[in-house]
Amino acid sequence: MSKIELLKAKRDGLKIKDDINRFAKEGWESISEEDIHRLKWYGLFLRNPTPGFFMLRVRIPNGFSSSHQVRALACIAEIYGNGVIDITTRQQVQLRHLKIENIPQVFDLIEEMGLTTSQTGMDNVRNIMGCPVAGLNPKERVDAYSLVKDLNEHILDNPEFSNLPRKFNITVSGCPDDCVHAETQDLALVPAIEEKGGNTVYGFNVLVGGKLGSGGYRIATPLDVFLCPDEVVEVCSALILLYRDHGNRDVRSKNRLAFLIEGWGEEKFRSALEGRVGRLLTRAGVDLRGNEKSEHIGAYRQKQKLMNYVGLKIPVGRIQSDKLKGLARLSEKYGNEEIRFSHSNSLVIPNVPDKKLGDMLEEALVKEFSYNPSSVLRGLVSCVGSDYCNLAAIETKSMALKVAAQLEGKLPDTAPINMHWSGCPAGCGNHLVADVGLLGKKMRRGNEVIEAVDIYMGGRTGIDPKLSVKVMEDVPCDQLAEVLEFVIPYHTREKMHPIKGKKYSRRRESPLPVKPKKQTEKQTENNVLEEIKI
């Protein structure tokens, strides 16, 4: 058995919470190596670059939160941490530089806000992702948020799901746009339609075995199963337990669901799943996803009358606590106190009435965290980087911002692109599914060791997913902007992987006007309808 399997066999990771008060009294150096690993079941990570300080990951299913929750997290970051908050590519929030002495108080505050850090690390079902504008998108056929919530409640703190062979990533989305990278997930439910009993039923097709780390990008494959909404919790739970009981536990680099799928094949896996649920499952329906990709950044009309949502780009996902509290105030002033986090290092403030929209777009924070960013900044995503992660070879976030700033003036007419940075092959920045993927490394130049990247291009998720292609190796970071300036125009999405008979497009939001003076609500609605892309 591997070291991790041995420590799991000794004690369930969920039981470590009972010891946190003792650790707080005795100090971080008293914590054994095994318990350092077990603390990850509750989102506590002791990082080598910051000895004595922990990163805390907060679970936010589907990225849905409220202004009071966000304000509380910002206050925790200010009082107990260093004021830095990261929005992750799994719609979670990470707080940094926390001491074990303060963790009991921090946990109390988080739980009072209706949040948890449980099962955000190690061999668990991680935060369940979904479309950040679920329930708002006029094109949406099924609102999946309630299903994400139900599935999360079934799994959370349930010992049946606390000892998997490896981490398990899930997304459940009814969005027709490629907004959640479904093909990278161990289990993905994507919107579909099926005829059952003479009736048209909206539900989900099931994809399985996607991943990014542990050997690279494996595109999740269709299981040829359609699920009605009322089947989701039952069948997904059975599928996870099937992986728990039959997944490889010997070599951690081969422990993901992808390797079980490859070993068994989809047909055998589906048959075993049907055996667990005790019935035949409906074969896959028609996939309702289109060719369009959207990060939901911009100002959009909701399906609710006279309402809009505003998606704001948080460059590389890092924000100071005072700024985040300011955005919480905006959600209260202009919306209904909701804030939603996206996988693309962005957040959404929904339910903004037409009559308030113009004023909101004039707010200083909305201009700082733009709803209409440049084509380079819009799709910019970065992992944590070497300043906080000991696995990363380079400091990704500051370098990503620096290169983007250099490119913005040089590629003003370029169509919006995804540029994703990962500091190591674990691929937390999702570099293998981007138009431009950058994998950090160290290299020798003369007598010095410098930061560099390998460049990948053409990665794609969605209805026509594609593996990225490594086009260049060992590009020094101090020369990267100059290289990308000439490479990007010749490696567009359409040129790398054309879709036969279809054009793969990205939604490009146009800036909205400021609020017109003294207009009626109906006049405001008409103006917005003319200028927002519905």
From the candidates 167, 256, 270, 301, which is the catalytic residue?
Answer: 167
From the candidates 90, 166, 313, 318, which is the catalytic residue?
Answer: 166
List the beta strands (DSSP E) in 364-464: 379-382, 418-422, 436-445, 448-457
Helix or strand holding residue 503 (H, E)? none
- 22 given a catalytic annotation: no
Q: How far apart are CA 351 and CA 304, in angstroms?
A: 8
From the candidates 131, 428, 440, 493, which is the catalytic residue?
Answer: 428
Cβ atoms 74, 321 nearer than 8 A: yes
Q: What is the DSSP string of 118-187?
A: TT-SSSSB-PPB--TTTTT-TT-SS--HHHHHHHHHHHTT-GGGS--SS-B-EEE---SSS-S-GGGSSE
- 247 given a catalytic annotation: no
- 96 given a catalytic annotation: no
From the candidates 423, 427, 437, 458, which is the catalytic residue?
Answer: 423
Q: Which whole-number Å values give the CA distances from 160 to 127, 154, 232, 290, in the listed order?
A: 17, 10, 17, 37
Q: How far apart are CA 269 and CA 262, in angstroms?
A: 10
- 423 given a catalytic annotation: yes
From the candidates 8, 47, 57, 441, which is the catalytic residue?
Answer: 57
Cβ atoms 168, 162 nearer than 8 A: no
Distance of CA 473 to the CA centre of its chain: 27
Collapsed DSSP state (helix, strand, coil) of residue 352 = strand
- 167 given a catalytic annotation: yes
Closest CA to 16 of 119, 155, 169, 161: 119
Looking up tokens 């048959």 gives 271
> Which pairing describes strands 418-422 and 379-382: parallel, antiparallel, or unpaired?
parallel
Closest CA to 184 of 383, 456, 493, 434: 434
Collapsed DSSP state (helix, strand, coil) of residue 196 = strand
Output phi, psi for 19, to 5 deg: -100, -5
> Which pairing describes strands 318-320 and 84-87: parallel, antiparallel, or unpaired?
antiparallel
From the candidates 174, 210, 335, 429, which is the catalytic residue?
Answer: 429
Interior angle at CA 389, CA 366 and CA 213, nearest 5: 95
* Residue positions annotated with a catalytic role: 57, 166-167, 423, 428-429
